Amino acid sequence: MDDREKAIISGASGCLGQATSVSLSAAGFDVLAPGKQELDVTSSDSIKAYLAEAGEVDLLVCNAGLTIDKPLARMTESDWSRVMDVNLKGAFLCAREVSRGMIKRRAGHIVFISSFSAIHPPAGQVNYATAKAALLGMMKSMAQELGPRNIRVNAILPGFLATRMTAELPDKVKQAALERHTLGRLNTPEAVGDFIAYLHQHLPHTSGQVFNLDSRIV
């Protein structure tokens, strides 16, 4: 009988998702790391079907993300909706469906991957910054509601990472971000994955918190 805790990571095909999968596996988790074809976070039907096969979930990492950065005057409704759907609606739908099983078992942990943009929004990210800021409010409300049922809910600001998503940002944006780091260096996806494992396994009394994992001053 496999008594390992089970973790699901949404958006697992990206750099952060892959690193988190490796970290959780090394920490002893049974890790499910679906890509978009296996788990469409914007579809409740897709999520329900995936969970029906996955079974009970101990840790959900809502990691699926999308950026479409443009000046406000050029941002289309589609640009707005697509970013909101993946970053906010997707996290809501995944958490809602997974929480049902957690409530029955009175145990579980949900971790939302937010962004430093949620608390210090840059220009040109109206859609993304709004979605990630809303994610923090959603996390805190869920933590209040689910805490009495022994379910933890936390959020992580992973920092400016060298991933495919951030590689698409303009060079001046990346350089400006680096200059704001007091340590003068960027965080790594591997460090974020290790922190998620540590948070789940060694901080059982921590919920409703936002963890900033780089050296920019909040």
Q: Please give the positions annotated as active site.
A: 128
Q: What distance in Å separates the CA atoms of residue 86 and residue 92, rounded to the nearest whole number?
A: 10
How are strands ordered across the β-sheet holding 6-9?
30-32, 6-9, 59-62, 108-113, 151-157, 210-212
131 phi/psi in degrees, rounded to 5: -65, -45
Q: What distance in Å separates the CA atoms of residue 199 and residue 204, rounded to the nearest whole number?
A: 8
* Rg, C-alpha atoms of the chain: 17
Residues 6+ apart with CB under 8 A from 75: 68, 126, 127
Q: What distance in Å separates the CA atoms of residue 51 and residue 187, rounded to the nearest whole number?
A: 32
